[in-house]
Chain A
Amino acid sequence: MSRVVNVEEEVRQLVADILEVEPHTINPDAKLVEDLGMDSMMALEIVASIEKKYKIKLPEQELRNVTTLNRVIDTTRDYVH
């Protein structure tokens, strides 16, 4: 299985764990704050979890991309080589 597919599945699982929802229930374009109840600390936790999982460092401005699952996945892909 390619790494690209893994990132999508892994980030979906990671976000679902933090938001305490089932992974398959997350619409990739749903707004994490408005639709799924994410708060600022959960957003920080998502960033920290991605950094830890992929051993990468995301610049602080990428926190602004934690808005939808798709944007989180795209941002992660940008930094995972």
Chain B
Amino acid sequence: MSRPSTASSTPPETMSTEVGLPLQLDFEQIKRIIPQRFPFLMLDRVIELEPGVRVVGLKNLTGNEWFYQGHFPTRAITPGAMICEAVAQTGIVFFHYTRSAQARDDVTYLMGSIKMRFLEPVRPGEQLRLEVTPVTVMSDAAMLTALVTVEGRVVAKGEFALSAKSHAP
């Protein structure tokens, strides 16, 4: 998709003309939603964003990822825990855009009730496609499903709960 040339400091984004919501998010826009930072930010782009329906994110895995140092020294394989983290962060984006606007600020997200199956090893140079869809969404928590693919192959899938805890007194 072509992007317009702009001198604005605001990153270009594809916008829904009907409701004013972004349909895609770049890395900087993701960082405004997700509190995680290096080395724990596991989401590079959001390519599909439909509040209440689904979010599709991408994570590009390079041989330079910190976790490949030890997992494993002579045969790099992406830890399932890091795939779960990428799924959780995609879930945060889903939750952020699905919840009512007034409840978004000042929250910590917790992941739980994780039931993930890992079907294939994921290696450096591959791109995770992370699709999150809802099972049940409530005001401060959601049960979500995750489908993780690499080039169309399912490498992980499952369900998890995401809970938003407000810091507000």
Residues of chain A at the chain B interface (Cβ within 8 Å): 18, 39-42, 44-45, 47-48, 51-52, 60, 63
Size of B's binding interface in residues, CB under 8 A: 13
Minimal beta-carbon separation of A35 from chain B (angstroms)? 19
- Closest B residue to A47 by CB, please name it: B136
* A-contact bits for B126-158, CB 8 A (1 contact / 0 none): 000000000110110111000000000000000
Chain A residues in 8 Å Cβ range of B139 = 60
Check B143–A40 contact: CB distance below 8 A: no
Residues of chain B at the chain A interface (Cβ within 8 Å): 110, 112-113, 135-136, 138-139, 141-143, 159, 161, 163
Chain A residues in 8 Å Cβ range of B163 = 40-41, 44
A52 to B141, CA, bound (A): 17
Can you show 17 pairs from A to B with CB atoms below 8 A apart?
A40-B141, A41-B112, A41-B113, A41-B163, A42-B112, A42-B113, A44-B141, A44-B142, A44-B143, A44-B161, A44-B163, A45-B161, A47-B136, A48-B159, A52-B135, A60-B138, A63-B138
Chain B residues in 8 Å Cβ range of A42 = 112-113
Among B112, B136, B159, residue most surrounded by chain A Cβ atoms (within 10 Å): B136
Chain A residues in 8 Å Cβ range of B112 = 39, 41-42
